[in-house]
Structure 1
Amino acid sequence: MSFQQALSGLNAASRNLDVIGHNIANSGTTGFKASRTEFSEAMASASGSASGQSVGIGVSVGAVTQQFKQGGITSTGNNLDVAINGNGFFMLRQPDGSSAFTRAGNFNTDKAGNLKTLTGDQVLGYPVDTVTGKAQTGQPPVPMVFSPGQTMAAKTTTEVSVNMNLDARAQVGAGDAAATPPIPATPRATYGTSLNVYDTQGVATPLSLYFVKSATANTWEVYTTLDETVQAPGSPVATIAFDASGNPTPNPLPAINISLDATNNPNNPTPATIDFALDLSKVTQFGTKFAVNDNKQNGYTAGSMTGISISGDGSVVASYSNGVKRTEGQLALASFTNPQGLASTGNNKWVATAESGLAVAGLAQTGTLGTLQAGALEDSNVDLTAELVNMMTAQRAYQSSAQAIKTQDQVFSTLVNLR
């Protein structure tokens, strides 16, 4: 017996306790991945040693490997928190311009509107095409910046959609004086709805729509004013017919082009008329009372950004003072051929190495990348119970190696004291 085996055991157990202590210390660190000590038997190279006669010279620490198993996900309710469920890493740009990666999605914004980590690294993502609303994944990810002074220009209304039911039991709007008893005319305002539409300067103009049942069976006339000197009875801006099932016909029902004066704009001259397509395909004629279910239009006045939030697919949605929410970017995720090869640099970050391979960027739920959960964070994947058991095992190994050294010392003392 020699001191070498026991001494190597002390060193290995000490290193193991360091790793276990590091894991336990980070059991509450967002996105932390536990490490494990890998041991290797040490053998002396002795040429010509007989089989079965060689004795090992102890143990060495072969590697400290990271365990990238999924951590638990805890809901926080914070609109800038986001957790990865599955494969992938958030992509970061460090202050020196180099790239890094993290699983910790506890982001925040600075006064300039940069989306950052707690340690000041910029979070990368894809800009969104203003026409299609899709992330531009054909270009490299860029830092996500959402300036607090960012504004949204006004948008004129081009589409209006009405969803309502017209009572199939309603009398013809003109009435019937010859009937017994006479049927009075139905006021034009009886079946109506209204909403605001917007001109080119973002000034709201009220749009009123009135529906009058015509003498033609299952047909209704559409008017935009109560003033019969402007729109006389029988001269509607549109008509809508229904089939025997109470649905609009023809199917699909073509949109109706309407022009409306921007009456609420005080400027002289006023902006051009508000020209929009009126969609009545969701209007029905059933034998129930008149009811307006929903009215929609796609215009809005100008607005300033009031805040941002991250949705489940990684889209960064900005809220504006005009009530509009618009996707301004989408977070990028990265995957690696060998995540075990990533080098940890502290502060919940890793950097790519030759062993990990290059980062492959993409969006959540594409390729091998996992899903995102907004308003939540991924917990550390440290199993405290297992770590405490491992710590007791490492302590016993350390004590046993120390006892082996003590025993060897006693043997040497006995030899030295021989007379």
Structure 2
Amino acid sequence: MSFNTGLSGLRAASVDLDVTGNNIANASTVGFKGSRVQFGDLYASGFLGGGSNPVGDGVNVLGVKQGFGQGNISFTDNGLDLAINGNGFFMLNNGGEVRYSRAGQFGINKDGFVVNNQNMRVQGYQADNDGNLSGVRGDLQIDSSNLAPQRTTNLTSDLNLDSREQVLERRTFVLGEVGQTEIGAGATAFNAEMVFLNYGDGSTAQVQINANSSAADVVAQLGQGKGVSASATTEMTMPGGLNDAFVQAAGFSFELRVEGVTVPVDTSGVNDLSSLADAINNSSSTSVSASVVSNQLRVVDNRGHTLEVEFYDTDPSTAQTETQVGTVRVQTTSEVTGFASYQGVNPDPSTAGAGLFQAAWDDGTLQVANQFNPQDQRTYNHATSTTIYDSLGNPHVLTQYFVKNEAPGNGVGVSQWSVYLQVDGEYVGNTGQTPQVARFNQDGSLQSVNGDVNGEIVIGDWTPKDPAGMPNGADGPPPAGVAVVTPIPDPPVSSAFVINLGETTQYGSSFGVNDQRQNGYTTGRLSGLDVSDEGVLFARYTNGQSQALGQVALASFNNVDGLSPIGDTSWVETFASGQAIIGQPGTGTLGAIKSSSVEESNVDLSAELVNLIIAQRNYQANAKTIETSDAVTQTIINLR
């Protein structure tokens, strides 16, 4: 009995030595999990009950159990070295067999697959060409080909325009002239007319032009309208019959009336047209002047009063009378956005006919003082540039210019800026003719851009060109008649893109570019790889872009002790372990990924050396048991 007991102890101690030695041998093996031996005592037993002998029969090795506790994480210089901080195993494809490992020493083989040192392929979730991760699991592969260029279809600008800036550009609308030709030959005054003014803030105003008004009266009446300025001049040229010979007649008489009031003109010394002009200039009227042009007398009233001249040579019954109504010229500032007029006194606009000043508005022209010039920094308040890309990946410089305008309407609660756009020095967005108009609320937030509350500017007239100014072969503007919709559909088929100023503000602080993002880029070569804590593999390219190529998959088990070790620091699934539960790092009970790191062996070398001494003592003690039993047996044999 004692021989068997000692022999079982030797076997158990030998196994303990083997396990301890294996732990010590793998103390520096990445991802290794240390083992320990579990022992049980032996007793003789019957078929239906326990044995009657209380003396034990030795020791039995119940099993060798691995400890899956976390090992220390150490950093490396390989970006594809991965460590699991927490639960889970890497999944490895070994020629169709799935193995599980904590050893994350990975690299890339000649085909671009992520593999370990035994050329087993790492399993993970695939990504499409746009970097979107899917739920499809397979071998992770790094695509080392160049990243295709992407044209710019959206640019978001987050800017602050300084509300303290002064207006550099004054925009006025000059109406067509209204005078004798418009009111009709022979007419001596303007008819009654109601003028309606519309302002950018939505307010309106009315101005009444009274019946029988002179041009000077009309100027005074229109001047009551906010944002409206007017002037008038009356020019009268005498008929050719009033010449030097006519003036020299003995009974010559000349009378000048301004607004029906006679202006005294001394004709006693007049002997030709020039002396008559001098006499008019020497009269008491401060608004009337005269001159001789092409042998004709020309009389001008610089305030637009109605002029009337009556003259004869010898017979008063042959007197000739000339009447001239002044010509009105009107200008409106940029705050006046609409102008209409109707004939009659207090007319109903739905029934009255259009007035003379409505027609003048229709014939008007826009005039800009200190007009915007991108070459002259004095003509714009702010500017910012960014790089955009065409369909071939060629870079182009987009510059946004901002010019502060006069506040529309009454200037309360709204501010206005003009926006000019250029790509490589050429206007886009039709801003060469008419700038985009950005309006801001009283709190500094953007109200609209050309009426669009989202602040979007659609650029549909850009033709990408090379440095010589010729089209470079990239996609150009959409065909005529094809509207550009936002957002730009994918894939884009033209050079159209959208500028979004929705985040732009107008505060009382310096101009600043808070953020400016566009979604285009040129072609790029693979320059490096990064792995996130979620196990996502990001490829970095020389064009500054990064794109997800895939995501490492992790597996966990309900019973990790049931896994079967098969060498190469890997395990396989067994019936006892249960099926693998597969997921993304950081989800469920799965741990996070640490890149450029490996998990060291969880073997405590100091403890293992102590265990080695204990196993040695156990072995020696059990050998002593056998030695003692042998001595006792020999004593019995020696009896006679």
What one-letter code is carried by the residue in structure 1 that aligns with 2:141?
A: V
C-alpha distance in structure 2 between counterparts of 1:48 and 1:324, whole Å: 76
Unaligned segments of structure 1, at least 5 residues: 177-182
Residue 398 (structure 1) aligns with: 619
Residue 57 (structure 1) aligns with: 57
What one-letter code is carried by the residue in structure 2 that aligns with 1:144?
A: L
Residue 358 (structure 1) aligns with: 579
Q: State yes or no: 1:276 paired with 2:478.
A: no
SS at the partner of 2:42?
strand
Displacement of 1:158 in angstroms is 0.8
Residue 43 (structure 2) aligns with: 43
C-alpha distance in structure 1 between counterparts of 2:593 and 2:440, whole Å: 45
Deviations 1:200-242 (A, max 9, x none): 1212221111111111242222111377997458x21x33232
Matches within 5 A, 1:80-229: 80-94=80-94, 96-130=95-129, 133-137=131-135, 139=136, 141-148=137-144, 150-174=145-169, 187-216=378-407, 217-225=414-422
Unaligned segments of structure 2, at least 5 residues: 172-368, 372-376, 408-413, 478-494
Q: State yes or no: 1:308 paired with 2:540.
A: no
The percentage of aligned residue pairs carrying the same residue is 40
Q: 1:24 to 1:272 in 2, by over 3 A?
A: same
RMSD of aligned residue pairs (Cα, Å): 2.8
Residue 438 (structure 2) aligns with: 240
Given that 1:112 and 1:147 are in contact with CA atoms closer than 8 Å, whether structure 2 keeps it comes out as no
Given that 2:154 and 2:499 are in contact with CA atoms closer than 8 Å, whether structure 1 keeps it comes out as yes
Given that 1:81 and 1:310 are in contact with CA atoms closer than 8 Å, whether structure 2 keeps it comes out as no
Displacement of 1:299 in angstroms is 0.7
Q: 1:306 to 1:270 in 2, by over 3 A?
A: closer
Displacement of 1:79 in angstroms is 1.4
How many residues align? The count is 408
Given that 2:381 and 2:404 are in contact with CA atoms closer than 8 Å, whether structure 1 keeps it comes out as no
Deviations 1:300-319 (A, max 9, x none): 12233333232221111112
Displacement of 1:7 in angstroms is 0.9
Q: State yes or no: 1:8 paired with 2:8.
A: yes
Residue 258 (structure 2) aligns with: none
Given that 2:420 and 2:431 are in contact with CA atoms closer than 8 Å, whether structure 1 keeps it comes out as yes
Residue 261 (structure 1) aligns with: 463
Residue 332 (structure 2) aligns with: none
Query: Which stretch of the first structure deviates more once superposed, 25-34 or 266-275?
Result: 266-275
Residue 511 (structure 2) aligns with: 290
Aligned with residue 325 of structure 1, among 535, 546, 554: 546
TM-score by length of 1: 0.89
C-alpha distance in structure 2 between counterparts of 1:47 and 1:281, whole Å: 88
SS at the partner of 1:84?
strand
What one-letter code is carried by the residue in structure 2 that aligns with 1:258?
A: I
Displacement of 1:154 in angstroms is 1.7
Q: 1:393 to 1:97 in 2, by over 3 A?
A: same
C-alpha distance in structure 1 between counterparts of 2:84 and 2:74, whole Å: 11
C-alpha distance in structure 2 between counterparts of 1:110 and 1:244, whole Å: 62
C-alpha distance in structure 1 between counterparts of 2:71 and 2:427, whole Å: 69
C-alpha distance in structure 2 between counterparts of 1:228 and 1:17, whole Å: 84
C-alpha distance in structure 2 between counterparts of 1:401 and 1:323, whole Å: 70
C-alpha distance in structure 2 between counterparts of 1:119 and 1:38, whole Å: 32
Q: 1:52 to 1:386 in 2, by over 3 A?
A: farther
C-alpha distance in structure 1 between counterparts of 2:539 and 2:473, whole Å: 34
C-alpha distance in structure 2 between counterparts of 1:164 and 1:105, whole Å: 46
SS at the partner of 2:57?
strand
Displacement of 1:60 in angstroms is 1.3
Given that 1:204 and 1:264 are in contact with CA atoms closer than 8 Å, whether structure 2 keeps it comes out as no
SS at the partner of 1:167?
coil
Displacement of 1:270 in angstroms is 4.9
SS at the partner of 1:218?
strand
Residue 29 (structure 2) aligns with: 29
Moved over 6 A (4+): 48-52, 183-186, 226-230
SS at the partner of 2:533?
coil
C-alpha distance in structure 1 between counterparts of 2:508 and 2:586, whole Å: 46
Query: Which stretch of the first structure deviates more once superposed, 292-301 or 117-126?
Result: 292-301
Given that 2:167 and 2:404 are in contact with CA atoms closer than 8 Å, whether structure 1 keeps it comes out as yes
Q: 1:188 to 1:154 in 2, by over 3 A?
A: farther
SS at the partner of 1:68?
coil
C-alpha distance in structure 2 between counterparts of 1:50 and 1:255, whole Å: 89
What one-letter code is carried by the residue in structure 1 that aligns with 2:601?
A: S
Residue 483 (structure 2) aligns with: none
Given that 2:165 and 2:381 are in contact with CA atoms closer than 8 Å, whether structure 1 keeps it comes out as no
SS at the partner of 1:285?
coil
Displacement of 1:48 in angstroms is 8.6
